[in-house]
Every structure is written in structure tokens, then in C-alpha cells.
Amino acid sequence: MTETTVVHADLDLLAERVEKAAALVQRLKEEKDRLEGVNQELTRRLRDTEAKLQGQDPSALVGEIQTLRKEQRHWEGERREVASRIETLVRKLEKLED
């Protein structure tokens, strides 16, 4: 190979690498823009949530959640009890049909 051919091959290789780097930079810029948009949306949502909670005592909210969970467990227990009683009644009705 002549020196000119080697230089052209090196230049072609360099050009290919530069194109790949430029494409990567472009993708990274697009990803950065996307992430900035996500960040802005999350910041907006955080501010909205903070505004909704403004003046509310977090410990009171936690207490209310605990109370609601207790009530939920109570209602689930009652629901299971009612379902059990219905099953018993259905079995008794089935025996009467026989």
C-alpha cells in the first residue's frame, strides 16, 4: 500500500468514528431532553401534592390510614363470616332438595 492509500483508509476510519460519535451525541441530547421533561412533570406533581397536603399534619394522616386499615380488616372479616353463613345455608337448602 502506498502512503496515500493508508492515509485515505485512516481518514475513512476516522470519518466513520466521528459519524458514530455524532449519532451518539444526538441520541444523548434527545435522551437528556426527554429526561428533563420527565423531571419537570415530576416536579409539577410534587408541588401539586405538597399544595394538597399544605396544612395537614402527616402524623394525623398516618393515624387516619391506620384507622382505615383496621376498618378494612374488620369489614373483610365480616364479609368472610357472611360468606361462610351463606355457604352453610346453601348446603342446608341442598339437603332439603334431596
For the chain, the structural domain boundaries read 1-55, 57-98
Question: Is the pTM here over 0.95, yes or no?
Answer: no
Under DSSP, the state recorded for 57 is: -
Q: How far apart are CA 86 and CA 81, in angstroms?
A: 9
Closest CA to 47 of 37, 39, 35, 57: 39
CB atoms within 10 A of CB 94: 9
pLDDT 10s digit of each residue in the chain, 98 long?
577 777 788 888 889 999 999 999 999 999 999 999 999 999 999 999 888 888 788 888 889 999 999 999 999 999 999 999 999 999 988 888 76
Alpha carbons within 13 A on the beta-carbon side of 19: 6
CA dist 84 and 92 (Å) reads 12
